[in-house]
Each structure stands twice: as structure tokens, then as C-alpha cells.
């Protein structure tokens, strides 16, 4: 039976450790429970690990469906089938044990496959779309389950057909490549060490990279050149080892984070005439100041609301 909680403090679910009270949060434990909840049309937003999202610290007049417990996988030869709520790091390790390569990049990711496929997650010259075969998705408009192949997913940089909230991932299949187990593990260990040196631990609340890379450049490089490392706003701080990360070092609010993001955005725009676009998603509807700053930065999808 799915767990459903009214007036839920959503910061308990986010890696940023920020967020106010949502109207209702639902936690399905199986694909059947997930589909039944979707059919009710009661839920405004579907999320997985809540690892690249910033919720408003104010009251959030939305119902949230969280799929992190809809997890499971099956490995058949070179094919891996994964449910939407399964953690990427878990399957990275399971694939390595089978001598299958393609998922090494996600070893340090806190997110679930639903989110990673939606944003076509990537790192270290690998991406989720590289070995993608097909996915079963729930069509919210027609209440039907359909299967989409790789071409139909419209994968791009940090996007897919799932990005428009029209479909909800149920599960997906991937075809990995056989490779030496020890070499796969060596690559995974290098990826972990890279993350430890460059990116903040989740012991500091954070949501991963804050801004997308502009074409043919790096958001981190541009922010570094603006000397923004260590800048603070309330309880939020730009990470001292990588300027494209913000950490919640002292009970930061969503307004602290968005104000700091706007400073980062404005500095780069002023110096390089480049408008950085947020990679994280913002969910909120009650605080005018943070909504106004977010809309300036977000040129395409704006605030998540349906």
C-alpha cells in the first residue's frame, strides 16, 4: 500500500535539505501503485531522488509523487532493465559485477533512473542515452502505457521527451558492453576520486551542478573566472572547490540559494555576455521575490507547475 502523507515537509526528501510544506506526498512501492496514483490525476509533480531540485522554503500548494521506492532491476545477458526509482549508483555496481560497461559514470550519482533519463544525465564522456534501448512510460493525457525507443526519446543536452512532464517513466532497458570487471572497477574508482576532489559531499546539502554548460564552454570555468568561490548568501555558499555548486552550509532557505544563483548569473552575463541557464529545477509558487529572480534566469521551462 502506497504511503500518503498530508502536509509533508519536503526537505526531508531533497539532497539540498531545503523545502517547505507540500499539500500531499505519496510514496508508491510498486509499478502498479505508481500507475494507480497517476490515474487519480491528483499529483502535480513526479520526482525520484529529489537530487537536482530546489523546493521553496515557503508553503507549496502542490501534491508530490515520489518514486524512489519503485525500484528493481533485471540483468539478462548484456541487457539491463531498470525500474524508475532505482538508484544509478546501485546499478553501476551491479553491472560491474557482471562485467558490463556503460554505467561507470553514474557511480557517484545520488539520483534515480527516472530523473537521470529525463535529463539525459552524463559525466566523464558517458551519458544515459549512449546505451539506452527503450522505455515504458505512462502518458498522463491518455492514461496509457506506451513504449518509446531511443529516437522517440528526443535526447539532448540535459533533456529528453520526459522533460516536459507529459510522460512519466515506468522502466527502461539498456544494452551494455562486455568488458573486464577489474578495468570497469578501476574506471569507477577514478570517477569517485574525481567527484571527491571537485564536488561537495552530500553531507553538505547540495543539488549537483547549478547551471548548465553553455555551448562550447563550461559554466564552472566562467564562474571560476568571476572569482565567486566562497561567496555567501544567508546559509548558502558557493563551493570553494568548484564554483558551479552551491552548498547548504547553515540552514539555507530557497531564497538564499536563488539570490546567490542570481548573483552568479549576473556576474557571468556582465563579464562575458553569456546568460547561464539553471540545471536544477525549482518548485514553488508562493514567494514573489524568488519567483521573479528565477523567471529572469530560466529562459525555457520556468517554474515547475502543472
Q: Which residues are catalytic?
A: 158, 209, 279
**Cα–Cα distance, 150 to 161 (Å, whole number):** 10
The H or E element spanning position 295 is helix 288-297
Going by C-alpha positions, the residue among 9, 66, 61, 65 that lies closest to residue 287 is 61
H helices of 142-250, where? Answer: 181-198, 219-225
The H or E element spanning position 63 is strand 60-66
Q: Are 65 and 291 in contact (CB under 8 A)?
A: no
Q: Report the phi/psi class of residue 258: left, alpha or beta, with left for phi > 0 and alpha for psi in -120 to 50.
A: alpha
Amino acid at each position: 500500500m502506497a504511503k500518503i502523507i498530508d502536509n509533508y515537509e519536503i526537505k526531508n526528501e531533497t539532497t539540498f535539505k531545503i523545502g517547505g510544506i507540500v499539500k500531499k506526498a505519496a510514496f508508491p512501492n510498486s509499478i502498479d501503485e505508481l500507475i494507480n496514483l497517476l490515474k487519480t490525476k491528483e499529483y502535480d509533480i513526479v520526482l525520484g531522488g529529489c537530487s537536482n531540485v530546489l523546493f521553496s522554503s515557503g508553503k507549496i500548494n502542490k501534491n508530490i509523487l515520489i518514486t524512489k521506492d519503485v525500484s528493481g532491476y533485471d540483468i539478462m545477458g548484456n541487457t539491463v532493465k531498470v525500474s524508475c526509482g532505482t538508484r544509478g549508483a546501485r546499478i553501476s555496481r551491479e553491472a560491474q559485477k557482471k562485467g558490463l560497461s556503460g554505467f561507470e559514470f553514474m557511480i557517484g550519482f545520488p539520483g534515480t533512473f527516472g530523473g537521470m533519463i529525463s535529463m539525459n544525465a552524463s559525466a566523464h564522456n558517458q551519458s544515459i542515452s549512449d546505451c539506452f534501448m527503450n522505455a515504458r512510460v505512462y502518458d498522463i493525457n491518455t492514461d496509457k502505457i506506451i513504449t518509446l525507443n531511443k529516437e522517440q526519446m528526443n535526447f539532448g543536452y540535459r533533456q529528453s521527451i520526459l522533460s516536459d512532464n507529459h510522460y512519466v517513466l515506468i522502466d527502461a532497458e539498456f544494452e551494455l558492453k562486455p568488458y573486464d570487471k577489474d578495468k570497469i572497477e578501476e574506471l569507477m574508482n577514478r570517477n569517485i576520486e574525481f567527484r571527491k576532489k571537485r564536488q561537495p559531499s552530500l553531507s553538505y546539502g547540495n543539488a549537483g551542478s547549478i547551471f548548465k554548460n553553455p555551448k562550447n564552454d563550461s559554466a564552472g570555468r566562467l564562474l571560476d573566472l568571476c572569482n565567486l568561490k566562497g561567496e555567501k548568501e544567508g546559509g548558502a555558499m558557493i563551493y570553494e572547490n568548484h564554483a558551479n555548486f552551491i552548498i547548504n552550509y547553515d540552514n539555507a532557505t530557497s531564497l538564499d540559494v536563488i539570490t546567490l544563483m542570481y548573483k552568479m548569473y549576473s556576474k557571468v552575463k556582465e563579464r562575458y555576455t553569456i546568460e547561464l541557464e539553471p540545471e536544477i529545477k525549482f518548485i514553488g509558487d508562493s514567494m514573489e521575490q524568488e519567483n521573479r529572480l528565477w523567471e529572469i534566469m530560466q529562459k525555457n521551462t520556468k517554474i515547475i507547475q502543472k
